[in-house]
Structure 1
Amino acid sequence: MAGIHYPLEGVAYCEPSVAQHYFQVGAWVDRTFGEALAATARRLPDKLALISDERSITFRELDEQSDRLAAALLKLGLEPGARAVFQMGTTVDTALALCACYKSGIVPVCALPQYREVEIGKLASLSLPQAYFVQADVGQFDQVGFAQKMCVEHPSFRHLVVARGDAPTGTHSMSALLESISLDEAQAVLNGVHIGSEDVLSFQLSGGTTGVPKIIPRFHAEYLAHAEAWARHVEAGEHATLIWSLPLLHNAAHLYALVPTISLGQTTVLMPKVDIVRMAELIQQHRVTHAVSIGPVAPQIMACAEVLDYDLSSLKLFFCLTRADSLEAFLGVPSSNLYGTTEGLLIGSGPAVKAFIRHQTHGRSGCEHDEIVLLNADNESPVAPGEIGELCFRGPSSLRGYYNAPEANATAFTSNGFFRTGDMMRAHVIDGVTYFSFEGRLRDNINRGGEKIGAEEVEAFLSRHPAVLDAKLVAMPDPFYGEKGCAFLILREGHAAPNIPQMIEFLSSQGLAKFKCPERIEIVDAFPVTRVGKVDKPAMRRIIAEAIEAETAAHASTSRTGG
């Protein structure tokens, strides 16, 4: 099945000779996602693949139901290679819809339910999707009505599929589609689809400084191999049970949760939202072995003593972005820092690795064929041993080019094909093995609980406010999310400063996703500048961090004195 059977214009594919090498050394697997699920379903038919409070599903059920939905999508007139925007939550229905697309060759554009006109509009214009999957019961927002509006504004959309709610006239109910075809008929339809292992599996999204969505193609052969290598690296696999409470459409969710479940027989417990006490209860109930915190989960755990009332002894490993030492001390279970980027690198440590490595570094790649270097930020020369440099990598799963983005691709790589992450790291050689620690970012973005916010994009929207003459957005520290956005504003003469609710209302009316809105505003007469006259954002970050630290200290002092 190796090969590209449904080539997509605008996708940068791997050079054939390099792809052949990856297959030969086992860095890629010559298998499609659908083949992997079918094989696991034959081997472990009655084992639970996915568990949730409302519904659980075995491997056989997931395989058969996704067959039926996949064939129903093809009978609508969708073809392999067609794109489908996804705005769905962390549910069994989302996993089922993704599996159906992966089997039929339809390429999910993995958006988020929080995206609004700006983000969906740019993604639709870039990827020209024909289908749109939405979940009707995500939060209080009318996701279905919003999707209908987007379908009118972007004529490439031909089919709107609604899960977990009523499907209005002119749309398709996902459950009705599944029920519209028998398993035998579905398998006959799918027998006519021959996907290659080098075909595109999904379109994942990268955060960036400009806010313009950059689409990252991921492929069957490399994605399956990447997830399987990671599972081996952290001692997961068939006998592991992982709990996942973050967006299921994320690249991270695929690599830690969905793909290892499909390809290796891991069981994954899904939580539609972060609920720390419920998470502890589920870990105890299902004897969870692996847990992941990207963003606010770990800090919330450490702020909730009630989780210690539950039996967490089944946990072999708890991952977090930072502060693994604090998490391990609190929970009493092995914890490890990790680092990942949708462009194709994932580093971390397994439970048997020394505590110093798990806590003071972010680990190493789970793929022995990844090449990692630290370069000077303004050229391609390596930094001296022990010095901080820009993390650059290439390997079996690394990006070879953003989809339909020649300008971005022109600056994203070194002259010899290493992807430049914009993240600063330090190398540590311990017992002859090189590990890496994250030391900060070179590029101008904010990481709010794992969601990347491009500062330039938000600044452009802030500057549209009638009271704002100029605006800058910087990261400020936050105990739960790691970072939040703080807007420094210069006001127009005679205008009053907007408060946070007013600014959020304004930005939302402009179509900006709410999670990108600033959560603090600082009014200034001028922005600090460097000696050469450039806006000094590091200075702004220091200013707001010192202000928050002083406020926290004052609050603590007042609490102690009973003021």
Structure 2
Amino acid sequence: MSPPQLSFTPWPADDAARYRSEGIWAGKTFDQVLRESVAARAHSVAVVDAEQTWTYAELDARVDALAAGLADLGITAQHPVMVQLPNQAEFVAVVFALFRIGAVPVFCLPAHRSSELTALAAASRAVAVITSHHIDGFDHGALALEVASSTPSLNTVVCLPDPGSDAPAGTVNFDAVSAVPREFAAADPGSVAFLQLSGGSTGIPKLIPRTHDDYLYSVLRSNEICGVTTSTVYLATLPVAHNFPMSSPGILGALAAGGTVALTPSPSPTTAFAMIERAGVTMTGLVPPLARLWTETAERGHSHDLSTLTAVLVGGARCPDELAARIGPALGARLQQVFGMAEGLVCYTRDEDPLDVVLTTQGRPMSPFDQIRVVDDNDNDVPAGTEGQLLTKGPYTIRGYFDNPAANARSFTADGWYRTGDVVRVDSAGNITVCGRAVDRINRGGEKVSAEELEEHLLAHPAVRDAIVVAIPDEYLGERTCAFLLAADPSSPPKTAQIRSFVRERGLASWKIPDRVQVLEEFPETGVGKTSRKDLRRMLAAR
């Protein structure tokens, strides 16, 4: 298996030289960062999950043996490898084993199904998948084999077996992937460290190439802002392959500081509160719907000791002001709002901020080298305090997606500004308030749903003549999806259950299944004959 050339859009040479000369880019890889923590904290606890506790020395030994075993399977530097694992210690070992080889993890979520995984495999040209046999009762081993059968480059499926069982036929048993440790050539810190999937991709997935240099800066700067130290115990409750629980400051921040990573398979208060008590968790990151559930549970009373919890970071979607005011008192921890994206820019509220800033804004850019603009539809800067579309660039914001010129043309200006798609306003202190989305991407509890992608699947149903997907405001999730349909045969319109079942069977993640389906006789139109999504949203609001 010869590795592909993982090219990416580089930062301008002058900017890159400045970032290096000023120490913004440290010139280290994530493998080097782990080795430094191992050397300093060998006998301290590195990782805790529902079943296991590993010290830094034990984690390092597992990474060594796993890296050698994966290399024996033919995985080498710059090979893309899809990783679809739940929140368990093996996720950490796998990712760092790939870093140690110089291979490139392609991060997948447990909720991804055949539609997403097949597109990801093709776009990344992955050579292998590492997954668990079953996650929450779903057969991911069979799914990985299905994806491999339709992807020419993908010839290895490594499967973590169920307890007491063998890995499924046709896969490599994860427990047997181990070999005598050996040294591997160090990766270039300026090379692609991994590929992440941008929310709401359509057609060719928008894969985000993050380098060791830029992503490590994001992690270390997050540590500074959030006060991560050797005493930090960070709990990953969200799917750990997400950008937020990985780097803001996330599991990578905790490991870089020599702290502890705790992982829980379920974000439910029952499971998570027990882990907080057991592991002495000090910090965690939540999306607003989960923060609401935890807050309501705590307000009703519970039996767990949460006294070690000092910081709750809330991001992934706009946190309603009323919820923000309740989180701290309910959980006995300070609230820190986070706003960011896998493409780069991260904003935080600070400890020293006035309470109203913490409760009503999403903070300000974490780096003095971040640049932002707020513009109108014609890219003209709007007056301060006025709503507009957010553009950004900086030392950890990518300059282009992986091998996707069409997406780059839409998402980046000619001079390198990234179009975030967010509508924001910025106050005189630089604090950002997120007001909505400029593009038709629905933020369903932190999971992004592309209206265009879902519409394409709906249009494949024989009873559907046309489809428009819009967001429904929702108190719990922030937004839900509503699919407006025109029936191919108006005398026999499709039923909601039929549509939802059809979309599910096409292999979409569960959060993309339309929450509501409504059949209309016709779509409202704008003055130039285009379907008016705005009028459809007004129709929903009126009802």
Match in the other structure for 1:217 = 209
Match in the other structure for 2:223 = 231
Per the TM alignment, residue 107 of structure 1 is displaced from its structure 2 partner at its CA by 0.7
Question: Match for 1:426: what amino acid?
Answer: R
Per the TM alignment, residue 7 of structure 1 is displaced from its structure 2 partner at its CA by 8.6
User: 1:140 and 2:137 equivalent?
Assistant: yes
Cα distance change on mapping 1:307 and 1:264 into 2, 3 Å:
farther
Question: Match for 2:488: what amino acid?
Answer: R
What is the rounded CA distance, in whole Å, between the counterparts of 1:314 and 1:546 in structure 2? 46
List runs of 5+ in structure 1 lacking aligned partners: 1-5, 548-563
Per the TM alignment, residue 340 of structure 1 is displaced from its structure 2 partner at its CA by 1.1
List runs of 5+ in structure 2 lacking aligned partners: none
Please give the per-residue CA displacement for 1:254-286, whole angstroms capped at 9, x wherever unaligned.
203221122111212211122113322332343
User: 1:314 and 2:311 equivalent?
Assistant: no
Per the TM alignment, residue 109 of structure 1 is displaced from its structure 2 partner at its CA by 1.0
Cα distance change on mapping 1:153 and 1:329 into 2, 3 Å:
same
Match in the other structure for 2:282 = 289
Per the TM alignment, residue 415 of structure 1 is displaced from its structure 2 partner at its CA by 2.9
How do residues 357-436 of structure 1 correspond to structure 2 at under 5 angstroms?
357-376=357-376, 378-429=377-428, 433-436=429-432
Per the TM alignment, residue 416 of structure 1 is displaced from its structure 2 partner at its CA by 2.2
What is the TM-score of this pair, normalised by structure 2?
0.93
Tell me if the contact between 1:375 and 1:391 (Cα under 8 Å) persists in the aligned partners: yes
Per the TM alignment, residue 512 of structure 1 is displaced from its structure 2 partner at its CA by 2.4
How do residues 16-415 of structure 1 correspond to structure 2 at under 5 angstroms?
16-165=13-162, 166-178=166-178, 181-182=179-180, 186=181, 188=182, 190=183, 192-208=184-200, 210=202, 212-255=204-247, 256-304=249-297, 305-306=299-300, 309-321=303-315, 322-323=319-320, 324-376=324-376, 378-415=377-414
What is the rounded CA distance, in whole Å, between the counterparts of 1:517 and 1:510 in structure 2? 10
Per the TM alignment, residue 466 of structure 1 is displaced from its structure 2 partner at its CA by 2.1
What is the rounded CA distance, in whole Å, between the counterparts of 1:218 and 1:7 in structure 2? 16
Question: Match for 1:390: what amino acid?
Answer: Q
Per the TM alignment, residue 33 of structure 1 is displaced from its structure 2 partner at its CA by 0.9
Question: Match for 1:175: what amino acid?
Answer: D
Find 2:538's aligned residue among 527, 542, 554. Answer: 542
Tell me if the contact between 2:490 and 2:521 (Cα under 8 Å) persists in the aligned partners: no
Secondary structure in structure 2 of the residue aligned to 1:368: coil
Question: Match for 2:326: what amino acid?
Answer: S
Tell me if the contact between 2:389 and 2:422 (Cα under 8 Å) persists in the aligned partners: yes
What is the rounded CA distance, in whole Å, between the counterparts of 1:334 and 1:514 in structure 2? 32
Cα distance change on mapping 1:320 and 1:104 into 2, 3 Å:
same
Question: Match for 1:62: what amino acid?
Answer: L
Please give the per-residue CA displacement for 1:389-417, whole angstroms capped at 9, x wherever unaligned.
11111111111110001111122222321
Tell me if the contact between 2:27 and 2:213 (Cα under 8 Å) persists in the aligned partners: yes
Tell me if the contact between 1:27 and 1:369 (Cα under 8 Å) persists in the aligned partners: no
What is the TM-score of this pair, normalised by structure 1?
0.90
Secondary structure in structure 2 of the residue aligned to 1:26: coil
Cα distance change on mapping 1:545 and 1:389 into 2, 3 Å:
same
Secondary structure in structure 1 of the residue aligned to 2:31: helix
Please give the per-residue CA displacement for 1:234-269, whole angstroms capped at 9, x wherever unaligned.
222322222111111112222032211221112122
What is the rounded CA distance, in whole Å, between the counterparts of 1:9 and 1:59 in structure 2? 31
User: 1:464 and 2:456 equivalent?
Assistant: no
What is the rounded CA distance, in whole Å, between the counterparts of 2:240 and 2:15 in structure 1? 31
Secondary structure in structure 1 of the residue aligned to 2:134: coil
Cα distance change on mapping 1:173 and 1:389 into 2, 3 Å:
same
What is the rounded CA distance, in whole Å, between the counterparts of 2:301 and 2:257 in structure 1? 30
What is the rounded CA distance, in whole Å, between the counterparts of 1:261 and 1:240 in structure 2? 7
* Aligned pairs, number: 530
Please give the per-residue CA displacement for 1:491-528, whole angstroms capped at 9, x wherever unaligned.
22255444443222211222322321101112221222
Tell me if the contact between 2:309 and 2:332 (Cα under 8 Å) persists in the aligned partners: no
What is the rounded CA distance, in whole Å, between the counterparts of 1:247 and 1:75 in structure 2? 29
Per the TM alignment, residue 441 of structure 1 is displaced from its structure 2 partner at its CA by 0.5
What is the rounded CA distance, in whole Å, between the counterparts of 1:327 and 1:525 in structure 2? 45
Tell me if the contact between 1:55 and 1:92 (Cα under 8 Å) persists in the aligned partners: yes
What is the rounded CA distance, in whole Å, between the counterparts of 1:286 and 1:106 in structure 2? 31
What is the rounded CA distance, in whole Å, between the counterparts of 1:533 and 1:307 in structure 2? 55
Question: Match for 2:465: what amino acid?
Answer: L
Secondary structure in structure 2 of the residue aligned to 1:541: helix
Cα distance change on mapping 1:415 and 1:15 into 2, 3 Å:
closer
Cα distance change on mapping 1:495 and 1:391 into 2, 3 Å:
same
What is the rounded CA distance, in whole Å, between the counterparts of 1:156 and 1:269 in structure 2? 34
Per the TM alignment, residue 205 of structure 1 is displaced from its structure 2 partner at its CA by 0.8
Question: Match for 1:314: what amino acid?
Answer: T
Tell me if the contact between 1:301 and 1:307 (Cα under 8 Å) persists in the aligned partners: no
What is the rounded CA distance, in whole Å, between the counterparts of 1:370 and 1:338 in structure 2? 15
Identity across aligned pairs (percent)? 31
Please give the per-residue CA displacement for 1:34-80, whole angstroms capped at 9, x wherever unaligned.
11111101111111112112112111111111111112111222210
Secondary structure in structure 1 of the residue aligned to 2:157: strand
Per the TM alignment, residue 471 of structure 1 is displaced from its structure 2 partner at its CA by 1.1
